[in-house]
């Protein structure tokens, strides 16, 4: 009898664990709690931002120039630290992260910038190999992974091209391939279409949407409202360092 009770208790406990893990099945990728950022010159770039992004989401972060978007990106990549509040990225608490842990945290992220930031002296293949080598990938892994990501971004025949032989849209697709090559859990793109014409911009955004559909969480910073309005996604809007809207749908809708 006593043994049976013990068994039941154990079973109950494991059911409870299952239920509570079910409730939190979607892991939290980003958590900002009451974030304030004041730069050394006194500029208050963020004034109490709260944000939660879960595994698998596609989120547009929008707002006018100077509203604090890139400041949020730099907090998430641990380039800068908050003046007040808590930042948690992929389970790493950036408030008390150790210096040696920062590269590990960054490997869970793929970051894409407006100006591509490719190595001009290396081919597409060389750029991707460089990114993989920094995480200690083997030659075998590179031979397998690089053609896969190039195919994914539609550049399977450009492995031997140099960045300056490619259009802006192509270069940004290389940057996306590089962001993906180490299989990150999340991609953060800061104005990825800022240097591209509208047609290329739409192609890039569609590509990011497709990558998200394959499971990578996506945070895309932009101030291009026409582009945002073409996709039905969660839109987080900030203005003067404050979050003014967080909802599904276009840039304008309340």
Ligand X SMILES: Nc1ncnc2c1ncn2[C@@H]1O[C@H](COP(=O)(O)OP(=O)(O)O)[C@@H](O)[C@H]1O
Which residues in this chain contact ligand X in the complex, by CB under 6 A?
A: 39, 41, 43, 45, 63, 65-71
68 binds, among ligand X, Mg ion, none (CB under 5 to 8 A by kind): ligand X
Shortest distance in whole angstroms from residue 34 CB to ligand X: 18
43 binds, among ligand X, Mg ion, none (CB under 5 to 8 A by kind): ligand X
Shortest distance in whole angstroms from residue 73 CB to ligand X: 8
Q: Is 212 in the site for Mg ion (CB under 5 A)?
A: no
Shortest distance in whole angstroms from residue 232 CB to Mg ion: 24
Q: Which is nearer to Mg ion, 170 or 191 (CB)?
A: 191
Q: Which is nearer to ligand X, 22 or 42 (CB)?
A: 42
163 binds, among Mg ion, ligand X, none (CB under 5 to 8 A by kind): none
Sheet with 44-54, edge to edge strand ranges: 44-54, 28-38, 84-89, 92-93
Shortest distance in whole angstroms from residue 59 CB to ligand X: 15
Q: Which is nearer to ligand X, 89 or 238 (CB)?
A: 238
Q: Which is nearer to ligand X, 72 or 132 (CB)?
A: 72
Q: Which is nearer to ligand X, 62 or 146 (CB)?
A: 62
* DSSP of the chain: -HHHHHHHHHHHHHHHHHHHHHHT-S-EEEEEEEEEEE-TTS-EEEEEEEEEEETT-EEEEE--TTSSHHHHHHHHTTSS--SEEEEEETTEETTS--GGGHHHHHHTEEEEETT----TTS-HHHHHHHHHHTTT--HHHHHHHHHHHHHHTT-TT-TT--GGGS-HHHHHHHHHHHHHTT--SEEEEESTTTTS-HHHHHHHHHHHHHHHHTT-EEEEEE--HHHHHTS--EEEEEETTEEEEEEES-SS--
Q: Which stretch binds Mg ion (CB under 5 A): 43-51, 68-76, 100-108, 242-250?
A: 68-76
Judged by CB under 5 A, which of 35, 49, 61, 70 binds Mg ion?
A: 70
39 binds, among ligand X, Mg ion, none (CB under 5 to 8 A by kind): ligand X
The contact set with Mg ion (CB under 5 A) reads 69-70
């Amino acid at each position: 009898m006593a043994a049976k009770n013990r068994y039941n208790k154990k079973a109950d406990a494991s059911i409870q664990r299952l239920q509570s893990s079910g409730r939190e099945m979607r892991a939290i990728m980003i958590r900002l709690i009451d974030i304030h950022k004041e730069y050394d010159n006194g500029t208050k770039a963020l004034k109490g931002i709260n944000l939660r992004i879960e595994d698998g989401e596609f989120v547009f972060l929008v707002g006018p120039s100077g509203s604090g978007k890139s400041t949020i990106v730099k907090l998430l990549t641990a380039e800068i630290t908050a003046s007040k509040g808590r930042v948690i990225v992929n389970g790493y608490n950036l408030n008390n992260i150790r210096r040696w842990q920062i590269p590990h945290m960054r490997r869970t992220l793929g970051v894409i910038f407006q100006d591509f930031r490719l190595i001009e002296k290396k081919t597409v293949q060389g750029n991707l190999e460089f990114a993989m080598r920094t995480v200690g990938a083997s030659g075998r892994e590179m031979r397998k992974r690089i053609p896969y990501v190039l195919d994914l971004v539609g550049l399977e025949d450009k492995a031997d091209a140099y960045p300056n032989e490619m259009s802006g849209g192509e270069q940004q697709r290389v940057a996306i391939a590089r962001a993906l090559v180490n299989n990150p859990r999340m991609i953060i793109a800061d104005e990825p279409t800022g240097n591209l014409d509208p047609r290329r911009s739409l192609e890039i955004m569609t590509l990011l949407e497709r990558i998200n559909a394959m499971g990578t969480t996506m945070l895309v910073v932009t101030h291009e409202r026409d582009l945002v309005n073409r996709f039905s996604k969660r839109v987080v809007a900030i203005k003067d360092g404050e979050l003014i809207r967080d909802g599904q749908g276009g840039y304008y809708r309340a």
